[in-house]
C-alpha cells in the first residue's frame, strides 16, 4: 500500500481509481477533504495517477479484500469505475466484458450489502441506449444496447435497480457517460493507456509521431459529413457530476440514472480538424470501414442531471477540450525522451 496526500474526511471506496476518469474523481474527492480508498488491479490504470488517499493493488472481484476494506474504513459510499470500455474488443471477446463488467460488479455489490454500504455511484455509459430513435437522447429512451460492452453495463444497472428495491437503505446513481475527453487542466492527469482507443488521444498521438496515421472508422454514416457524431464531455466536468451525485445521495436522493453530456455533437472529422488546429500539425488521416457495434450518433439530453443535481457545466469549445489533452500528451512525450 502507498500513501498519497490525504485528509481526515469521510472515506470513499473508489474502484478503478487509478484509471482515466477514476483518477480525476479521486483528485476532486481529495481536494474536497474526502479520504479516497482506491482499489485498482492496474490492468489499465497507473498508481502514480492516484493523487490522494490510500492505494491498494487488488481486484474488485475479490470479495474478501473488498469486505475488509469496507469494514476497516467503515465505508458507507462506493464509486465503481473498474471496467473494460472498448466497444470493438467487446464484440471480439464478449465473455471478457461480461466477466469483468457484470460478474465482478455482482461480487462488489455482494460485499457492499454484507458490509452496510448505503450509497453507490456506478460508471455507466450511453452505450446502453444502442441506436436511439431520437437524438439528443434522454433517460426515458429504451435501453437496447447493440454491443457486449453496452449490454455488460446494462446488466450492472439492472442489478443495482433490483438490489435497491430489495435492500432498504441502499441507493445508487448510475451516470451514463457520453464521450469523456480532455485532461486535467494542470496536466497532472489524463489518458495514459498502453493501447489507446479514444479518438482524441489517437489523433494527438499521431500528431506527435507515435502512430504513422489516424484511421477514421466509417465515412458512410447518415450524418452531415458521413462520420460518427458524439457528445464529448470534458473529464473535469464529468468528475464534477460524480461529486454532485455523492452529495445527492448523501441528502437522501432516490436511486436513478443520469446522462452525462453537454447536448452538443461533434463528428469524427470535427475532432480531427480540432486536433490539427490545436497541435499545428497536419498529420496523415485515412478512411477505414465502420467498426462493429458503433452507432451513428450519440448526443445527450442532460436536463435531468442539471435539474436534480444542479450540474451547471457548460460545453467548452471543442478546441479547449483538445488543448487540455494536447498539453497532457506533450507532457507524456517529454517524459519518455532520452
Q: Does a structural domain hold residue 193?
A: no
Angle at the Cα of 176 from the Cα atoms of 170 and 179, rounded to 5 degrees? 150
pLDDT tens digits along 145-171: 999 999 999 999 999 999 999 999 999
Does residue 192 belong to any structural domain of this protein?
no
Does 144 share its domain with 288? no
- Per-residue confidence at 196, pLDDT binned at 50, 70, 90? confident
161 with 55, same domain: the answer is: yes
Catalytic residue among 20, 52, 97, 149: 149
Angle between helices 268-279 and 199-207 (to 10 degrees): 40
% of the chain surpassing 70 pLDDT: 97
Mean local confidence (pLDDT), 328-337: 89
Q: Which pLDDT value is given to residue 18?
A: 97
pLDDT digits (tens, 9 = 90+) for 263-291: 999 999 999 999 999 999 999 999 999 98
Domain that holds residue 307: 199-230+263-336
Q: What is the pLDDT of residue 318?
A: 97
- Concatenated DSSP letters of 173-191: EEEEE-EEE---TTSS---
Confidence of residue 17 (pLDDT cuts 50, 70, 90): very high
331 shares a domain with 223: yes
Q: Has residue 86 got a pLDDT over 80? A: yes
pLDDT at 209: 95
CA atoms of 338 and 322, how far apart (whole Å): 26
171 in the same domain as 206: no
Count of domains forming the chain: 2
Query: How many angstroms separate the Cα of 186 from the Cα of each of 79, 91, 308?
Result: 24, 36, 30
Encode pLDDT of 33-74 as tens digits.
Answer: 999 999 999 999 999 999 999 999 999 999 999 999 999 999
Q: Is residue 213 part of a domain?
A: yes
Confidence at residue 123, expressed as pLDDT on a 0 to 100 scale? 98
User: Is this prediction's pTM over 0.75?
Assistant: yes
In this predicted structure, what is the pLDDT of residue 9? 87
How many whole angstroms from its chain centre is CA 299?
16
pLDDT value for 163: 98
Residues 136 and 161 in one domain: yes
| Any domain includes 188 | no
List the CATH number of the domain containing 102: 3.40.50.720
pLDDT band at 7 (very low <50, low <70, confident <90, very high): low
What is residue 257's predicted lDDT score, i.e. its pLDDT? 98
Query: Do residue 164 and residue 278 come from a single domain?
Result: no
Residue environment code for 34-63, b if the CB has 16+ CB neighbours within 10 A, otherwise e: bbbbbbbbeebbbeebbbbbbbbebbbbbb
What CATH number is attached to the domain comprising 302? 3.90.25.10
Domain check: are 141 and 22 in the same one? yes
Do 161 and 83 fall into the same domain? yes
CA atoms within 13 A on the CB side of 182: 24
243 part of a folded domain: yes
Average pLDDT over residues 287-303: 92
Return the pLDDT at 1.
Answer: 40
The answer to whether position 168 is within a domain reads yes
The arithmetic mean of pLDDT across residues 99-112, rounded, is: 97
- C-alpha cell recorded at residue 266: 461533434
Q: What percent of the chain has pLDDT over 90?
A: 92
pLDDT at 2: 44
Instruction: Provide the angle, in degrees to the nearest 10, between the axes of the packed helices 235-250 and 20-31.
Output: 60
Instruction: Clarify whether 52 is annotated catalytic.
Output: no
Band (pLDDT 50/70/90 cuts) for residue 191 is very high
Q: Is residue 191 part of a domain?
A: no
In a domain, 194, yes or no: no
pLDDT, average across residues 220-233? 96
Which of 260, 280, 309 finishes a domain? 260
Q: Does 168 lie in the same domain as 52?
A: yes
Mean pLDDT of the chain: 95
- Sequence-ordered list of residues with C-beta below 8 angstroms from that of 328, at least 6 positions apart, any chain: 183, 184, 187, 189, 190, 191
Mean pLDDT of 82-90: 93
Report the distance separating Cα 300 and Cα 289, nearest Å: 26
Q: Are residues 269 and 158 in the same domain?
A: no
Identify whether residues 208 and 133 lie together within a single domain.
no
Decide: helix, strand or coil at residue 33. Answer: coil
Q: 75 with 60, same domain?
A: yes
Amino acid at each position: 500500500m502507498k500513501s498519497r496526500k490525504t485528509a481526515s474526511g469521510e472515506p470513499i471506496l473508489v474502484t478503478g481509481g487509478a484509471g482515466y476518469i477514476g483518477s480525476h474523481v479521486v483528485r476532486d474527492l481529495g481536494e474536497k477533504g474526502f479520504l479516497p480508498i482506491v482499489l485498482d488491479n492496474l490492468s489499465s490504470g497507473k498508481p502514480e495517477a492516484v493523487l490522494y488517499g490510500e492505494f491498494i493493488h487488488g481486484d474488485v472481484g475479490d470479495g474478501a479484500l473488498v469486505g475488509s476494506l469496507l469494514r476497516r474504513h467503515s465505508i458507507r459510499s462506493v464509486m465503481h469505475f473498474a471496467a473494460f470500455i472498448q466497444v470493438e474488443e467487446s464484440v471480439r471477446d464478449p465473455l471478457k466484458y461480461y466477466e469483468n463488467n457484470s460478474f465482478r460488479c455482482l461480487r462488489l455489490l455482494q460485499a457492499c450489502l454484507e458490509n452496510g454500504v448505503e450509497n453507490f455511484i456506478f460508471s455507466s455509459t450511453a452505450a446502453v441506449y444502442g441506436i436511439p430513435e431520437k437524438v439528443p437522447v434522454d433517460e426515458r429512451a429504451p435501453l437496447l444496447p447493440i454491443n457486449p460492452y453496452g449490454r455488460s453495463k446494462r446488466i450492472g444497472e439492472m442489478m443495482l435497480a433490483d438490489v435497491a428495491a430489495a435492500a432498504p437503505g441502499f441507493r445508487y446513481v448510475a451516470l451514463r457517460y457520453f464521450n469523456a475527453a480532455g485532461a486535467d487542466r494542470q496536466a497532472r492527469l489524463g489518458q495514459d493507456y498502453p493501447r489507446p482507443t479514444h479518438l482524441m488521444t489517437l489523433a494527438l498521438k499521431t500528431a506527435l509521431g507515435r502512430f504513422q496515421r489516424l484511421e477514421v472508422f466509417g465515412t458512410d454514416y447518415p450524418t452531415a459529413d458521413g462520420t460518427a457524431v458524439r457528445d464529448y464531455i470534458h473529464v473535469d466536468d464529468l468528475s464534477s457530476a460524480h461529486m454532485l451525485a455523492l452529495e445527492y445521495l448523501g441528502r437522501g436522493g432516490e436511486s436513478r440514472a443520469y446522462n452525462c453530456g453537454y447536448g452538443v455533437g461533434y463528428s469524427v472529422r470535427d475532432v480531427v480538424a480540432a486536433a490539427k488546429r490545436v497541435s499545428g500539425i497536419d498529420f496523415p488521416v485515412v478512411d477505414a470501414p465502420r467498426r462493429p457495434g458503433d452507432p451513428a450518433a450519440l448526443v445527450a439530453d442532460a436536463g435531468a442531471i442539471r435539474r436534480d443535481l444542479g450540474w451547471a457545466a457548460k460545453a467548452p469549445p471543442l478546441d479547449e477540450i483538445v488543448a487540455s489533452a494536447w498539453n497532457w500528451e506533450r507532457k507524456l512525450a517529454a517524459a519518455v525522451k532520452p
